[in-house]
Amino acid sequence: MLHTALQTVTIAVVAGVASTLLGRRLRIPPILFFLLLGVFLGPLGLGWVRPESLGNGLVVLVEIMVAVILFEGGLSLSTHSFRKAGAAIRRILLISLPLTGLGAAVLGRLILDLAWPKALFFGALIVVTGPTVVGALLKAVSLSPSLRSLLDWESIWGDVLGVLLSGVALKFILSGSGHGPERIGFLFLERLLLGLFVGVLAGEILRRWVFPFVMRLQEPALPGVTAFAAALGIFHVSNLLSEHSGPLAAAAAGLVLSIGKTSAIEDVRHFKEQISIVLIGSIFVLLSSTIDPFAVAAHWPGMLVVALILGALVRPASVLVALAGTPLPWRERLYAGIVGPRGIVALATVAYADILLKGDPVMPIITNLTFVIIFLSGAFATLVSRPLAALLDVELPSSGLGILIVGIHPLSSQIAQFASQRIPVAFLDTNPSTCSLAQGWGHQTVCADVLNIHVYEEALEQGYGRLLAISNDDALNQLVAQAAAVQLGPHRVFRAKADAAGDPLLMETPHPPRQAFGSGFSVREALDELKQGRATLEVLSVDGKVADHVTPLLIFTEDGKGVEIVENREGIRGSALCLVRKPPRPDDRQAF
């Protein structure tokens, strides 16, 4: 038995991590790989993964996973993103989710003949989208900041509300007819308020006392481990006080830490992301291996009809109704309605209920129905999310992302003036007097610590998805690029060489930023040439071949809607801002 349990967990972890790596490599959500491998490796396939060998341990692992996912989800949210799409977020949570749940319950009742308590339980658990699938989708598709915020907030708080509602419905099922509607409402309100209270209180304790103490110990590994223990503790204590309130408490505590800008938050996020990769993948594989579609073969036609109607009609209609009248453009509303993949929290919730209601003949139907909805919605999101974003014109290409510029001088001012004709551009500097100089030149500024990674997190939410480090100090450029790459990604961070000679003391990083303006360019040399009149900045039409005395810096994209930062001289076409060097005069040449 011990060997079987160890084998099951080991293979599930390996399969889960391998699926995550494959999904990242293909830039698609890995949920399909989780589901397929779970079935293939489970009792219906090779039989290598046997969840029954874990006994009640599977429930424990599921609860740990939910606590970590929602705590990390709360950490990833910010009040700025809520302000950007606050009306849409509120309406999607308060209108769309209940409509989707009610529609799912009606479908379960009419098509599968589920009793109303079981139908309402199914409707409550299936409303969730989930950060595990939506987060992977947002990494694969670059969307507008408002649409990103909407999908992100729905995935976190939709999970929380779904777990709360399904927990209340499950309580009603277990107690038979012992609870009337008023009692059900009271239970939900009790869990909602208690979960919020425990989460906010615990988050404040962590923010004010625990993490400052941990940071004073100066051990880089401690913040993440402390947060992991705190997430489990908060989840468990809240559940002890009121059943199924733990998910809300974990998410609320994470949000408090995010809003409070806790100094250790990035160490915590990094550790939580690593733990989440292991937990999510392995437990998704474990839960998928419990599915037995042959046990409910007679109900499969009805289950497929429910899944298709829910995804093709109920979800889009409820989102469009909820978002009607909001500032969100209709294309973004339609995208949010069509793309709504269900995630692991729905599967974990139904697996938990299946264990509590062991032997109930209806639970295999609900379990398999949840599985097929997750599979179909995940497959649809995987295959359609990027083409649909392009079709609806809601995908934001990298050339359309705003640029933060570090380094204020005449050259960077001209670059900003050129780029701001198409995209948002702002200067980032720590010194208030330098920010005032940029403002005097007519530029937007962000006056903040350039080495604070939270600055780049907020900048990304405001549409500034790229950074150009172009100061005349190579060390500063490198440090800024390293800080920005944590949030923006190294592929969206550009660093220009400050000194033609370079600095041998600079250390290369595993994921270096991209080279801006080519290897032959240096900021100090360009500034010197501009100051002495030996070079000018001109907008030229470039057609593939660039003269030796011309260095392209920025170029408009062909559609005229974006700006690309030039990395090399080859294959450049279009309207470009170029550094044009003048031929040397005879009296400037050295005599030999």
Bridge partners (DSSP) of residue 71 are: none
Q: Tokens 């392995």 correspond to what residue? A: 282
418's tokens: 């050129």
Q: pLDDT band at residue 357, thresholds of 50, 70 and 90?
A: confident
pLDDT at 529: 93
pLDDT of residue 591: 32
Top-tier CATH class for 54-391: mainly alpha
The CA radius of gyration of the chain, in Å to the nearest whole number, is: 27
Report the alpha-carbon distance of residue 35 to residue 520 in Å, rounded: 50
Strand order in the sheet with 425-429: 444-447, 425-429, 403-406, 466-469, 493-495, 514-515
- The confidence band for 588, taking pLDDT boundaries of 50, 70 and 90, is very low
pLDDT of residue 504: 44
Segment 70-110, tens digit of pLDDT = 887 787 776 666 766 778 889 999 999 999 999 999 999 99
Report the greatest alpha carbon distance in the chain.
104
- Alpha helix ranges (H) inside 95-144: 97-112, 116-125, 131-140
Give the model confidence (pLDDT) of 216-249 as tens digits.
888 877 888 888 899 999 999 999 998 888 888 9
Residue spans per domain, the chain: 54-391, 400-588
State how far the Cα of 496 lies from the Cα of 470, in Å rounded to an integer: 5
What is the β-pairing status of strands 550-556 and 563-565? antiparallel
- Write the CATH number of the domain with boundaries 400-588: 3.40.50.720
pLDDT tens, residue by residue, 138-195? 777 888 878 888 898 888 888 888 888 888 887 777 766 555 566 777 878 888 899 9
Give the pLDDT of residue 98: 92
Q: What is the predicted pLDDT for the residue at 592? A: 23
CB–CB of 54/61 below 8 Å? yes
Q: Is 284's pLDDT higher than 60?
A: yes
Which of residues 356 and 525 earns the better pLDDT score? 525
Model confidence at 389: pLDDT above 70: yes
The closest alpha carbon to 51, from 66, 63, 62, belongs to 62
The dihedral built from the CA positions of residue 352, 253, 99 and 170, taken in this order, carries a sign that is: positive
pTM of the model: 0.79
pLDDT for 589: 41
Cα-Cα-Cα-Cα torsion 465, 468, 474, 479, nearest 10 degrees, comes to -10
Q: What percent of the chain has pLDDT over 70?
A: 91
User: Cα(78)–Cα(478) distance, rounded to whole angstroms?
Assistant: 27
For residue range 93-102, list pLDDT tens digits in order. Answer: 999 999 999 9
- Model pLDDT for residues 434-485, shown as the tens digit of each residue: 888 888 888 998 888 888 777 887 787 678 889 999 999 998 998 899 888 8
Q: Which candidate, 254, 395, 286, places its Cα nearest to that of 332?
A: 395
CA distance 282 to 62: 10
